[in-house]
């Protein structure tokens, strides 16, 4: 695993992606093959094997659907999007999950409107990815603050601040590298895809982090001019 990661540093983006996809898909394939054989042989607990097979298929499905985004950049549909409303919708969607993990989501949107021109589904996907990462960084629970701030240059900044595990220096520089994950069940695509989506909106993603104290992910987007 270590060797694969070091090696991938030297590959191009396309090479990294290809190597990562091959690796990420081969593992669940191998396990599906094994369990199909076991079922065929009539041994053991069929139900359990079917459960494993279906979760391995889901894993492949998730990787494929996230990667399809990269293959179809032309499908971006720009429209006027109210960031406050999108954030509200996403928070409603994820709040139960946050509560289960003992994470309190606090919002500080201020009074000003925050409209951008963008693809509503892509923007929601970005917010979901950053909120999920924040929740996952706080295994013992904590607070996630989502704050909106108007910039002086016709931009809006969205700050996602968690008080989770933080990101070590050595990992900060690898954020956004495809398939780079520190999680057992992670796929290391969320950050890369999110950064790409925001850049497609002429925006930026910034990260500041302190180990054991927490992380702030800041998304900066140009305000709608219409």
Q: By rule CB under 6 A, what count of residues binds ligand ADP?
A: 22
Beta bridge partners of 145: 106, 161
Choose among 56, 25, 50: nearest CA to 38.
50
Q: Which residue is nearest to ligand ADP (CB)?
A: 186
**Shortest distance, position 103 Cβ to ligand ADP, whole Å:** 11
133 touches 161 (CB < 8 A): no
Q: Is 175 in the site for ligand ADP (CB under 6 A)?
A: yes
Question: Using CB distances below 5 to 8 A depending on partner kind, what does residue 86 bind out of ligand ADP, Mg ion, none?
Answer: none
**Residue choice 16, 137, 161, 224 for contact with ligand ADP (CB under 6 A):** 137
Q: Is 190 in the site for Mg ion (CB under 5 A)?
A: yes
Question: Using CB distances below 5 to 8 A depending on partner kind, what does residue 215 bind out of Mg ion, ligand ADP, none?
Answer: ligand ADP
**Shortest distance, position 51 Cβ to ligand ADP, whole Å:** 22
Residues near ligand ADP, by CB under 6 A: 129, 133-134, 137, 162, 164-165, 167, 171, 175, 180-183, 186-192, 215
Residues near Mg ion, by CB under 5 A: 133, 190
């Amino acid at each position: 695993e270590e060797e694969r990661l070091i090696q991938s540093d030297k590959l191009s983006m396309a090479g990294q992606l290809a190597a990562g996809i091959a690796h990420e898909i081969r593992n669940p394939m191998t396990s599906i093959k094994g369990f199909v054989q076991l079922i065929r042989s009539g041994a053991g607990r069929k139900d359990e094997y079917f459960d494993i097979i279906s979760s391995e298929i889901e894993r492949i499905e998730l990787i494929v659907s996230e990667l399809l985004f990269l293959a179809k950049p032309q499908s971006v549909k720009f429209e006027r999007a109210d960031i406050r409303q999108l954030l509200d919708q996403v928070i409603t969607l994820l709040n139960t999950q946050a509560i289960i993990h003992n994470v309190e989501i606090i919002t500080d949107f201020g009074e000003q409107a925050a409209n951008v021109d963008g693809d509503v589904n892509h923007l929601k996907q970005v917010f979901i990815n950053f909120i999920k990462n924040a929740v996952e960084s706080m295994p013992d629970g904590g607070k996630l603050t989502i704050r909106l701030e108007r910039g002086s240059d016709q931009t809006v900044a969205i700050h996602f601040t968690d008080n989770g595990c933080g990101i070590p220096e050595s990992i900060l520089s690898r954020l956004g590298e495809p398939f780079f994950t520190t999680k057992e069940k992670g796929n290391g695509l969320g950050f890369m895809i999110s950064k790409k989506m925001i850049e497609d909106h002429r925006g930026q993603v910034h990260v500041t982090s302190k180990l054991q104290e927490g992380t702030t992910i800041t998304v900066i987007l140009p305000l709608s001019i219409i």
